[in-house]
Structure 1
Amino acid sequence: MRLTIQPFTVHKRFPLTISRGTTAKNTNLWIKIESEGIEGWGEASPFSVVKESKINSVQLQQELTRIIPELEKFNPLQRQEIETVLLENNIKSSLRAAIDTALYDWLGKKVNLPLWKLWGLKGDRLFSISVTIGISSPDKAVERVRNWLNFMEVKLLKIKLGSPEGIEADKAMILAIRQETPHLPLTVDANGGWTLKEAILMSDWLEKQNVKYIEQPLNVGYEENLPRLYERSPLPIFVDESCFNSEDIIKLSPSIHGINIKLMKAGGITEVMRMISIAKACKLQIMYGCYSDSSLANTAMTHLATYANYLDLDSHLNLIDDPFQGVTLKDGKLMLSDLPGLGVNCNQ
């Protein structure tokens, strides 16, 4: 097989601020695997889970280029052997995700079936998603809510908290949004922006604001405090940055209610499937999330949407120059097609 890498830059319609900073654009990698005249596609999005740890696309491209000759010895059906090589070479999870996705896209095109049909899933229905409001002033948060409401039929709002200005600023933002949309349920993602004391206080307060769950209340490295929060919080606790792969689920499962699975963290669709199985065995709720991903990566995750309790796959909707067209939006929900593989085309 032949593997090629093409960087592309996407710009956000509205910059997104979380507890670790603000992003307005991202340069991702488009990975293409060609064999037998069939081309499979995947996407690698650079990301970070703590401040100052993000690897950029140039570094990712250099890392993958180093082992392309070794990978090109394989055929796209040898996914297990390819995965072993990637792990043995300590290749970053987002690159593994792109390659694994491309291999599945290739397979679907090879047998002329969309992945959801290939896997025997219910992909022929609509999947509700949440849309994200970043950390901002109350007025700016309300403005962003209105922009989303003008763009689509919103079913669920995901609010980023953990403001550097403290929990009073978080509360002010929630109250402004709640006044604007008293009818819409909310979820909250602190991105590790609270201490244990703040998380306990906020969980009590947020329960009264029609919030469904709290995501990643504590920072990475403070997982030993999760049992205490689990005992005290009246709201379900989900983890994101603390849970990369299936091994993490086992360690965290006694002290959480759910996990956020992201393709870039997991390292591929194959690992996402493992995580789904283990999470369900542990009786955890499942949500899917994204970084600055285009329609390419978000379409890949949507093929597995039937397994999720919540979908937070809205990053491509906030891009002004998404080069891909895949999953579409209908009535505020995501809809897959019958096209083979991922069902993704390039607009360029």
Structure 2
Amino acid sequence: MQISITPFTVHKRVALTISRGTAAESTNLWVRVQAEGIEGWGEATAFSLGTYQQTTEQLTAELTAIAAEVTDFHPLERQRLEPLLAKLSSAARAAIDMALHDWVGQYAQLPLWQLWGLDRGAIGPTAVTVGINTPEKAVHRLQLWQTQIPDLRSVKIKLGSPDGMQADQAMMTALLADIPAGTKVSIDANGGWDLETAIVMADWLAERGITYLEQPLPVTLDGQLAELSERSPLPIFVDESCFNAQDVARLAGQVHGINIKLMKAGGLSEALRMIHTARACGLEVMFGCYSDSAIANTALAHLAPLADHLDLDSHLNLTDDPFQGATMQAGCLLPNDSPGLGLTRHELPDR
């Protein structure tokens, strides 16, 4: 098989601010696996979490090196490929794993959700994200989402403002006044609080009908998750604290749920392992994304019938995503009936 790597840069319609900073664009990698006249597609998106750093240049070098090693392999030889893929950083591994799944789906002439025997009708609404901002600008961002997606059913709000808890509460108060009744609302603090702040905010948010609280504490305070979960009236989910199935087992009994992202996990194969491990441990499952295009979000949409909560909106905030796949219908991101991931690519005019 042959592997090719093509960089592409995408720009956000609205820059996203979280507790760790602001992002307005990203350069991702389009990865293609070719064999027997079939081409499977994947995506690598660089991300950084504390001391864990991945860059586009690093991912390109890794993928270029692995491409030279696998020319004598076939996409169906996954067991032989695994030791090679295991040496890659998670986002590089995710790209090849996605492309291999796409290839197999096309080889079988079935969409992945059907190949896995899943019920597409079980997919719940995907959340759109409102980043940290002034109350007025946060409301304006929400209104832009409501214009873009009239049947919006779920909203995720970023808190953990560097300006403190009062700034978080002021932004939340303004947003809740503008969110229609019956809309699912969740919070992601991206590790922006300490334990006492998280407890106060959990109580305050629970009184306002919030569904769950994601990554309230930084990874360095993982040892306090059990106490927070015991004292919080809201379910506690972790994101930055959970990369793979081993982390799921470690966190069992300390939190209520985990956030799976393909770039952290290393692809759909590990995402499936994480789901099964989480269920065995009595944990709920949510799916999230980084600055991913429609490639990665479509890939996770195929697994979405197995998730309790979905946050696959990054591609919806792009002005120039060259890829198309899963589509928004009644507030849900649904994969199509085409074989594999069901992706297409279109040329964009020069910026």
TM value normalised by structure 2: 0.96
Residue identity matched to 1:37: G
State the Cα distance separating 1:124 from its structure 2 match: 5.3
Aligned 8 A contact 2:63 2:92 in 1: yes
Counterpart pick for 1:132 among 110, 129, 147: 129
Q: List gaps (5 residues or longer) in structure 2.
A: none
2:279 counterpart SS class = helix
CA contact (8 A) 1:31 1:42 kept: yes
> What is the correspondence of 1:41-120 to structure 2 with a 5 Å cutoff?
41-50=41-50, 53-87=52-86, 89=87, 91-120=88-117
How many Å separate the matches in 2 of 1:20 and 1:134? 11
Contact 2:124 2:308 in 1 (8 A): no
Note if contact 2:243-2:260 (Cα within 8 Å) is conserved in structure 1.
yes
Q: Which residue of 1 aligns with 2:189?
A: 190
1:179 to 177, 180, 195: 177
Give the match for residue 329 of structure 2: 330
* Structure 1: stretches of 5+ with no match in the other structure: none
Q: List, as ranges, runs of 4+ consecutive aligned residues in structure 1 with deviation greater than 4 Å.
A: none
Alignment partners' CA distance in 2, 1:129 and 1:289: 9
Letter in 2 for 1:96: R
Deviation at 1:53, TM superposition (A): 4.9
Superposition deviation, residue 182 in structure 1: 5.1
Moved more, 106-115 or 125-134: 125-134
Paired residue secondary structure (1:222): helix
The structure-2 alpha-carbon separation of the partners of 1:53 and 1:119, relative to structure 1 and needing over 3 Å to count, comes to closer
Question: Cα distance, 1:228 vs. partner?
Answer: 1.0
- Aligned partners of 2:336, 2:277: CA distance in 1, in Å? 28
Give the C-alpha shift of residue 67 in structure 1.
2.6
Q: How far apart are the structure 2 equivalents of 1:181 and 1:334?
A: 20
2: CA distance, partners of 1:292 / 1:149: 21
Partner of 2:303: 304
> Offset of 1:81 from its aligned partner?
2.2
Equivalent residues of 2:127, 2:153 under 8 A apart = yes
Matches of 1:185 and 1:127 in 2, distance apart? 11
Q: How far 1:161 moved relative to its partner?
A: 0.4
**How far apart are residue 128 of structure 1 and its match?**
1.1
Q: Taking structure 1 as reference, are residues 165 and 54 closer, same or farther at Cα in structure 2, changes over 3 Å only?
A: same
Q: Spell out, residue by residue over 1:67-124, the C-alpha distance to the aligned partner (whole angstroms, 9 max, x if none).
A: 322122211011222221122x3x1101100001100100011111111111111125
Residues of 1 paired with 2:147 and 2:125: CA distance?
Answer: 17
Q: State the AA in 1 paired with 2:36.
A: E
CA RMSD in angstroms, aligned pairs only: 1.2
Q: Which moved more, 1:252-261 or 1:59-68?
A: 59-68
- Find the aligned partners of 2:19 and 2:122 in 1 and give their Cα distance: 35
| CA distance 1:58–1:199, shift in 2 (3 Å) | same
Deviations 1:130-185 (A, max 9, x none): 11000000000100111111111211110000000011100001000011125133
1:223/1:126 CA distance change after superposition, 3 Å: closer
SS of 2:5 mapped into structure 1: strand
Q: In structure 2, do the counterparts of structure 1 residues 250 and 137 end up closer, same or farther at CA, with 3 Å as the change threshold?
A: same
Structure 2 residue aligned with 1:230: 229
Give the C-alpha shift of residue 346 in structure 1.
Answer: 0.7
Say how many residue pairs are matched.
345
> Deviation digits for residues 260-293 of structure 1, max 9, x if unmatched?
0001100011100000101011111110000001
CA distances 1:6-28 after superposition (whole Å, capped 9, x unpaired): 00011000000000100000000
The residue type paired with residue 267 of structure 1 is: G
Q: For residue 163 of structure 2, what is the aligned residue in structure 1?
A: 165
Letter in 2 for 1:300: A
**What does residue 15 of structure 1 align with?**
15
Distance of aligned partners of 1:182 and 1:323 in 2 relative to their CA distance in 1, 3 Å threshold:
closer
Cα deviation, 1:279-321, whole Å, max 9, x if unaligned, reads 0111111100000011110000010111000110011100000
Give the counterpart letter for 1:180 in structure 2.
Answer: D
Contact persistence 1:124–1:336 (CA under 8 A)? no
Q: Structure 1's 67 and 185: CA in aligned 2 closer, same or farther, altered over 3 A?
A: closer
